[in-house]
Structure formats: structure tokens, C-alpha cells
Structure 1
Amino acid sequence: MVQPSSSILRADNRIRGLVNGGGFPIEIVLALIGIVVPIAAFVWEFVLVGRKRLGYRVQMDTPVTGEIESVFPGVLPQLQPDGTGTPPDLKDLSVVLMRIENSGATDIDDGDYAVPEAELVGVHIHFPDRRVIGMAVTELSDDTLGDCLRPGTGIGKREDAAHHIGIIDLPKVPMNRRDHYKILAILQRSAGTGGVYPTPIVRAKIKGGRVAETRSNTGTSPRLLALIGFLVVVVAVQYFVGLRPQDTPVNAQCTSGKLTLVGSTAFEPVVRDAAAAYHKLCDGADFSFAFDGSDRGLSRVDDEGKGNPELLAVSDGAKGPGYPDLRPRTLALSLFTMVVNPGVGVSDLSVAQIRDIYAGRVSNWQQLGGPDLPVRVVNRALGSGTRETFRTRLLGDEQPPAPPATSCRAISAGNPAGASFCEVQVTKDMLKTVAELRGAIGYAENADATKASDVKTVTIGGQSPTREQVAAHAYPFWNVEYAYSNGELPADSLAAAFLRYLTDLQGKDVLRSYGNTPCTELPNPTTCTPNP
């Protein structure tokens, strides 16, 4: 085992002195936590986020079987409003009834939906593995809501065929307190062979509030039970702290336990290698991983991480609004790069040219000195930290929205003339798509891109992605990698020890091996701030 440095040993001794010598009143701290948390939970729930909240509830989601043998056969095909008079062949049907409501303490106006002002749609309901074949609005709490849900208001149905997701779009409906309406949807399976359907997903965002699943007001509140459970845990911890031997050492080098790491797919290889190196140092450390994007990782820690130090999210860049409980730890300066298909033949692009490409103003690589080849623009999906880094660092806030995206596979098969746009979920999909799709351009974390032999990296304005170029303000495509926990981490938790390992100990070697620069080693460490 690697021996601790003298500075680590001195810090270790100071911690022991505080805990063992009675200078650290941990029992008082736990008692204060037991008082402050319920008060904070009340204020948060009923004064802050509870003031403006759009709620939703799946009231029915059931498969439809036996229709052919029913007393009135042919009823279900009549629900398909195709106007042809010919009943479609409908199989594997299901019926979903969803309630959309204002469950907060104040009214919701159309301006409270966090979408561009010109955008009509404010809420999206996703049905994985199903397509929408019919829908209706029902049970309006106020008849005037119907004026906001008529044709032309943004309401409609569509399908993300590439990902087998049926989608219902709903307009930005103004709702007074306790207003609600319901959506009745007839769905048909579009993927899978049977079994339980995935739960419908509501995607929306409310300014100064939140969107949350609601429940019927019967039985005991799960949140009340969670709060009671939390208080029981605090009392139990106080009891066991009192029983703990006072000479228990705090080991800054090796901490056992479990830790799940989620978030950025761009930073995933770094974290996996660092976790493997830490496990060699401390075989009692058990790591698991679920990297599926920065935004999903932050949402998971926000939802599941309260009082759970076994869950950390890694994010490309600082968190956005809506995560007040998440606590940041800066890790490293991370470099990103543009990548192209080898057939593109372009080795350098200016920021202005990149903006033109992603705005659809460049349709053929000939316009930029390349071959006669249509441009295929590949973007990361919404919620990706890498995509947000790309938007912030290169596109800017004034960039017009990109043309609508389609399936990358459909572009490859159809080979349409002119520029085409598609999206991918994770870093490995980005590199694979750019490598296989002729004329493609995309972006990725620099270490991943340089290791991919089947794509070509592109300099930006003649500058390569290096720490020196970033420090000289010459290379624009970079960001700071963060680790987020829900609340402060216990000093003796595996999560806290792993973060110390990454930022102050041998883990920095792993960061550097991937071309990342630990924040503590920057000429100006304040570069690693939430708003660099």
C-alpha cells in the first residue's frame, strides 16, 4: 500500500484530536440536523417550490385485450381518427388516462413554462415502446381551459420512431390553483414483445417551481413517512455515536463502503479508471456505475441522494437551475473537440463556421473547402452536459435553433441532399455515428475523440485543445468537471474519500492521463468556479 504523505498524516491526527478529544460536538450537530431538516423541508415544500408546481398523475395505464371476442367487436378501431373509414389493424393496445393539474399554492401562467416565448408547446408526455393512435382531452375542471386545448394551440401527437417513443404535446395552459384536465390516450405497442409497458414520462419545466408526480390524497404521505424515517435515523446515529469507541481512527487513504457514480458519459472513462485504482488501494470500496448523461445524473442524485452519501453525479459544467440541494466539488478542467468523418477532409474550423454548420447555413462541405459532400450534423440529445458545454462555449445564446433532427440511421439510408440533422444519446454513440455517417460532424470529450481511430479531430481557429491554449484564452471548447452530492458528505464516507483521492491524492494522475487538468494545478485555480 502507498504510504500517506506527511501532510495527510498531520491532517489525520488533527481529525483524530477533534473527535477523540471532545473538541468536535458531533452529538450537538446531529441534534441540530434533526431540528433544521424538518423545518427546511416544510419551508421548501410549502413556501418555496410548493408555491408553483405543475403536477401529473397516471390514473390508468392498462392493456386492452379480448376486444375481438367482445359483445361489440370493432369498437377500438373506430377510435382511430384517420378519416378513411377503413378500420386499421390494431394490436397490443393500451389505454392511458393522465391527469395534469396545478398542485401548487399559486397560479401558473403561460409565461411560467420554461420554453421560448414563441413556442406553443409547454408539456411533452413520452410513452416508451408505444405509439399514440388516438387521444382526447377530458374532464376539464374549468370549461375555459378548453380554449387553450383546441387545435392550433400546440396540442398534438407524434412519434420518435428512432427511439420507439410516442409523444403527446400539450400547450402552455394557464391554470389557477387546483385546476386540472385529463388526457385519454389510445396507444399501440411499437417495440418489445410483451410484458408490462414502461411508465409514461412527463417532460416540462416551470420557472421558479417544478414539475412533480402527484398522488391521490388517501393513506399516509410517503414524504411524511420519509421525514419520520429520517428523524429515526438521526436518533439512531446519535445513539451509536455515543457508543462508538473514542479511539476510532479516521483513515484518509482507505475508506470502505459502497458508491454509485452517475452522470457524464464524456467523463465516464476517467471516473471508471480512477475507481479501479482506488479499489486496488482499498479493496473494501465497492463501486457501481450508471452513466447516461449529466442531466439525468443530476436528476437522480436530486431525487434519490437525500441523506444518501452512496450516490454521486459527475457533470460536464456547473449544474443548471432547479437543483438547490446539490453541492458541487470541482474536479478538473476538461477539454472537448470537434470531430468529423474521415471523408470530410477539413482539419480546421473557425467558431463562426461551426455556428453556420449547426444553424443549417452550410449544406455542403464544398462551401468550407472540402469535397462535394452533404453536411450531416450530429448533436447530443437535450440534457447532455457535453451538449450544454458546446452550446455555451461555441454557439452562444444568440445562435438560432437548429433545424429539426431526424434519425441518424434514416439519414444514412436515405442520403438526402443538403444538410441533415440528428441526435445521439451518449459519447460512444456520437463517435460511432460520426465514424459511419459520410459527411458527419460532431463533438466529444478530447481524450475519447483522440482514442477513436475512425474519426478525425478538428482544430478550432487553428488552435488545438491544450491546457496552455485554454489558459491563453485561445481555445474556446472546454469546461469544468464537477461532482455533485445531495447535501454535504460525511467526512468518513467513501464518496468523500474518493473525491479527496481524485482532487488531492494519486487520483490526479488518472485525471492527467486523460488530458484533464486538476483544478488545484491550474495557474489560476479560480478558473474552476461554478461560472467560469
Structure 2
Amino acid sequence: MKKGLFLMSTAGLVFAGGLLGGNVYADSSKQVTAVGSTALQPLAAQAADEFGSKNPGVTVNVQGGGSGAGLSQVGKGNVTIGNSDIFAEQKDGIKANKLKDHKVAVVGITPVVNADVKVSSLTMSQLRDIFTGKITNWKDVGGQDQEISLVNRAQGSGTRFTFEKEVMDGQATKTSQEQDDNGAVQKIVSKTPGAISYLAFSYTTGDQAKNLKPLAIDKVKPTVKNVKDNKWSIWAYEHMYTTKKPDKNTTKFIKFVKSNSMKSTVKKLGYIPVNEMKVTKNANGDVTKK
């Protein structure tokens, strides 16, 4: 089992745990358990804390594990919420028609490099060639003579799925080290000279990201403004999936995450409220102007 963190909103406690192997919390209507996307985890954890302070006696547990794990666990009835960066229809083995989709935010995803890399912009073709292994030295894209160190997300990651769908054009990424969550990628790229990977916008600000540099693509910068009108195309909805008839407190928590009172928190953490998007995207990846 993967190790992770549960964030308990009512007590403010953090403790080690693994992916839920059974319906541990099903016996209590006071428990809300959200597992999955680490791109969504900062927002889900903050919302859990704020929700807990407003709803004494209700515990919201938040854990990572990746979008695939979130969809699988909610589909099996082991958790009340499956956090995901991808539509359930995009994940093999998931019975999407048995689940209810709650889009709670939008997240941008950007390539990031260690701050020592003397490159600030790539073309989409160059970025793709780096991740296929065709380009292996920064000097080949205008940087210093330094080997490129690839860091990828593990299979099952919604962040990886979105990056590959929007960048790789059907080509396979080169075999490289893989990490289970955005936080681990953030730390490794920050500490590894010549490293490149990709992260949710929510992991590219703050003290822990000070040794990271997001890259522009085709001279378009990875900004919230550019995500809103799809000038920056690497973005995804943040979904909270539930069963068709979630329990009262799960419904109440998701409603809170989507509420106007959470909007400032959503923006502060680097996400975009869904209703501020100027375009929509479906499970096939088709983008339509509103």
C-alpha cells in the first residue's frame, strides 16, 4: 500500500495512513473521506479544515494517491469522494455511469525546471522531444551544456494523463524516474540540477517552489488568465466523484467547496473557479467557447 497523509479537519491532526482497503468509514455518517488527485489535494485539505470549523462533529479526511486510485476507491464504495483530474470516462475499468461528477475547480498544469536551467520558454515540439528522449541536453534548446534529467508522474496520475494528452501527441514518454504525487515532483525538481517535469499550478508558488521555474510554451506563459480562454491548453477540471446518492455530509462538503465563500481560497491556492472559465472541455478533450 502507498503511504500517505490523512488530514482530519475537526481535530487539525495529521497522521500516517494507507489507501483504504475496505469500507472503513461507511459505518459513520459523520465521516467524509476524499482520496485521489494530489493536484486537488491542497484545495481539498484547506476546504476540509474550513468546513470542519463550521461543522463541529463532522470529520473530513483527505488523502492523495492519484486520480486513478480516487476513481477506483469511490467506485468500490471504499470512500465517499474520489478526487480526480480526469473524467471517469477517461479511466479504463471505471464504471462512470455509476458515479456522479462534481466539478469543483479548474487547474492549470505547466512544465517546470530547476531554477538553474537557463531556458525559460520552449516550443511544444521541443517539449515533446525532451519527454520522448530525442533531446537530452539543454544546450540543444538554447540552454547550457547540461544533461536533462526527466521526472515523470506515475501511471494513474491525472496530472500525467492531462500532460500527455495535451503535449505528447500520442508519443510515449521516455522511461524515467516516476513519482506518485505533485509534492514529490516539486521537491525533486527543486533539488536536481537540469531537472524537468510538470506540476499543477498549485505547486508552483510559495516557499517550497522557490527553486522551480515554470516554462512558457510557444511564447505563451502558464497563467490563470491564459488558462481561462484556453490560450494555455494544459489544464483540467478538478472533479470530486461520488456515488449517485452520496450521504448528507458528503453532499454538504462538496457544496461548500463550490460555494462563493470558498472562491478566494480557490484562487489563492492557484486554482480557477469553474464559472470563470471562458471555455468548456468534455471527456473527449473537445474545447468549446461558452
TM-score by length of 2: 0.81
What corresponds to 1:373 in structure 2? 146
Indicate if the aligned counterparts of 1:330 and 1:529 stay in contact, CA closer than 8 A.
no
SS at match of 1:517: coil
Indicate if the aligned counterparts of 1:293 and 1:426 stay in contact, CA closer than 8 A.
yes
Q: After TM superposition, give the deviation of residue 298 of structure 1 in Å.
A: 1.2
Does residue 252 of structure 2 align to residue 511 of structure 1? Answer: no
SS at match of 1:444: strand
Q: After TM superposition, give the deviation of residue 454 of structure 1 in Å.
A: 1.8
Indicate if the aligned counterparts of 1:467 and 1:517 stay in contact, CA closer than 8 A.
yes
Residues 489, 528 of structure 1: CA spacing in aligned structure 2 closer, same or farther, 3 A cutoff?
A: farther
Residue of structure 1 aligned with 2:130, choices 342, 350, 357? 357
User: What is the one-letter code of the residue matched to 2:169?
Assistant: G
5+ residue gaps, structure 2: 2-26, 286-290
Indicate if the aligned counterparts of 2:229 and 2:277 stay in contact, CA closer than 8 A.
no
Indicate if the aligned counterparts of 2:39 and 2:159 stay in contact, CA closer than 8 A.
yes
What corresponds to 1:475 in structure 2? 232
Does residue 169 of structure 2 align to residue 396 of structure 1? Answer: yes
- How far apart, CA to CA, are the structure 2 residues paired with 1:504 and 1:528? 21
Residues 301, 350 of structure 1: CA spacing in aligned structure 2 closer, same or farther, 3 A cutoff?
A: same
Residue of structure 1 aligned with 2:84, choices 296, 315, 332? 315
What corresponds to 1:13 in structure 2? none
Indicate if the aligned counterparts of 1:365 and 1:373 stay in contact, CA closer than 8 A.
yes
What corresponds to 1:334 in structure 2? 107
What corresponds to 1:131 in structure 2? none
Indicate if the aligned counterparts of 2:37 and 2:83 stay in contact, CA closer than 8 A.
yes
Residues 472, 518 of structure 1: CA spacing in aligned structure 2 closer, same or farther, 3 A cutoff?
A: closer
Indicate if the aligned counterparts of 1:332 and 1:528 stay in contact, CA closer than 8 A.
no
Q: After TM superposition, give the deviation of residue 359 of structure 1 in Å.
A: 0.8
**Alignment deviations for residues 9-48 of structure 1 (CA, whole Å, 9 cap, x no partner):** xxxxxxxxxxxxxxxxxxxxxxxxxxxxxxxxxxxxxxxx
**Alignment deviations for residues 42-71 of structure 1 (CA, whole Å, 9 cap, x no partner):** xxxxxxxxxxxxxxxxxxxxxxxxxxxxxx
User: What is the one-letter code of the residue matched to 1:438?
Assistant: P
Indicate if the aligned counterparts of 2:136 and 2:148 stay in contact, CA closer than 8 A.
yes
- How far apart, CA to CA, are the structure 2 residues paired with 1:269 and 1:445? 11
Residue of structure 2 aligned with 1:485, choices 226, 242, 252? 242
- How far apart, CA to CA, are the structure 1 residues paired with 2:205 and 2:63? 24
**Alignment deviations for residues 405-451 of structure 1 (CA, whole Å, 9 cap, x no partner):** xxxxxxxxxxxxxxxx3211111111111122221100111121222
What corresponds to 2:277 in structure 1? 522
> Alignment RMSD, CA only?
2.2
Indicate if the aligned counterparts of 1:450 and 1:457 stay in contact, CA closer than 8 A.
no
SS at match of 1:497: helix
Q: After TM superposition, give the deviation of residue 504 of structure 1 in Å.
A: 2.9
User: What is the one-letter code of the residue matched to 1:328?
Assistant: D
User: What is the one-letter code of the residue matched to 1:391?
Assistant: E
Q: After TM superposition, give the deviation of residue 528 of structure 1 in Å.
A: 5.4
- How far apart, CA to CA, are the structure 1 residues paired with 2:278 and 2:173? 37
Residue of structure 1 aligned with 2:197, choices 442, 447, 466? 442
Does residue 46 of structure 2 align to residue 291 of structure 1? Answer: no
What corresponds to 2:11 in structure 1? none
SS at match of 1:344: coil
Q: After TM superposition, give the deviation of residue 507 of structure 1 in Å.
A: 2.2
Q: After TM superposition, give the deviation of residue 373 of structure 1 in Å.
A: 0.3
- How far apart, CA to CA, are the structure 2 residues paired with 1:470 and 1:449? 15
**Alignment deviations for residues 186-231 of structure 1 (CA, whole Å, 9 cap, x no partner):** xxxxxxxxxxxxxxxxxxxxxxxxxxxxxxxxxxxxxxxxxxxxxx
Residues 512, 529 of structure 1: CA spacing in aligned structure 2 closer, same or farther, 3 A cutoff?
A: farther
Mapping of residues 240-279 of structure 1, within 5 Å: 257-279=30-52
5+ residue gaps, structure 1: 1-127, 129-232, 234-255, 405-420
Residue of structure 1 aligned with 2:186, choices 410, 423, 431? 431
**Alignment deviations for residues 440-475 of structure 1 (CA, whole Å, 9 cap, x no partner):** 100111121222112111122222223331243321
- How far apart, CA to CA, are the structure 1 residues paired with 2:69 and 2:258? 24
- How far apart, CA to CA, are the structure 2 residues paired with 1:521 and 1:470? 10
SS at match of 2:258: helix
Q: After TM superposition, give the deviation of residue 529 of structure 1 in Å.
A: 4.1
Does residue 174 of structure 2 align to residue 454 of structure 1? Answer: no
User: What is the one-letter code of the residue matched to 2:40?
Assistant: F
Bigger relative contact order, structure 1 or 2 (CA pairs below 8 A, ≥6 apart)? 2
Q: After TM superposition, give the deviation of residue 263 of structure 1 in Å.
A: 0.4
- How far apart, CA to CA, are the structure 2 residues paired with 1:514 and 1:359? 31
What corresponds to 1:408 in structure 2? none
Does residue 160 of structure 2 align to residue 387 of structure 1? Answer: yes
Indicate if the aligned counterparts of 2:48 and 2:62 stay in contact, CA closer than 8 A.
no
- How far apart, CA to CA, are the structure 2 residues paired with 1:468 and 1:289? 29
Structure with the greater alpha carbon radius of gyration: 1
- How far apart, CA to CA, are the structure 1 residues paired with 2:71 and 2:197? 24
TM-score by length of 1: 0.46
SS at match of 1:494: helix
- How far apart, CA to CA, are the structure 2 residues paired with 1:342 and 1:402? 23
Residues 467, 484 of structure 1: CA spacing in aligned structure 2 closer, same or farther, 3 A cutoff?
A: same
**Alignment deviations for residues 321-365 of structure 1 (CA, whole Å, 9 cap, x no partner):** 322222211111111111111221111112111100011110110
